[in-house]
Structure 1
């Protein structure tokens, strides 16, 4: 791991930290069983039965993994 050779000043530390900003994740809106569902693009979705029990993961309409 890199170790700084000299102490970073308080001013420089705070200036560097102030540049970091959290971003809102992009969400995709879709209809599933009459409900509006928001999910992240390019991520597998959990498919649930009518009781709400997770059954498997789905990506682009295909089953990719069991839960």
Structure 2
């Protein structure tokens, strides 16, 4: 781990920290059977039956894993 040779001033350390910014989450809106759902792009989604029991995971219309 890098160890600083000298102590940084408060102003410098706070200026460095101020460069970190949070980015908003990008959601994809999909409509299935009249129901609107939002999901993260490029992620597998859980396919559920009518009772809400998870059946399997799907990505781009293909089954990728059992739930």
Shorter-chain TM-score tier: 0.7 to 0.9
- After TM superposition, the score normalised by the length of structure 2 is 0.87
- Structure 1 stretches (4+) deviating beyond 4 angstroms? none
Match of residue 2 from structure 1: 2
Which string of whole-angstrom CA distances, capped at 9 and with x for unpartnered residues, describes residues 32-53 of structure 1? Answer: 2321011111111111111111
List runs of 5+ in structure 1 lacking aligned partners.
Answer: none
Match of residue 50 from structure 1: 50
CA-atom RMSD in angstroms: 1.2
For residue 57 of structure 1, report the CA deviation from its aligned partner.
0.8
Between the two proteins, the alignment pairs up a number of residues equal to 67
Look up the SS of the partner of 2:12 in the other structure.
helix
- After TM superposition, the score normalised by the length of structure 1 is 0.87
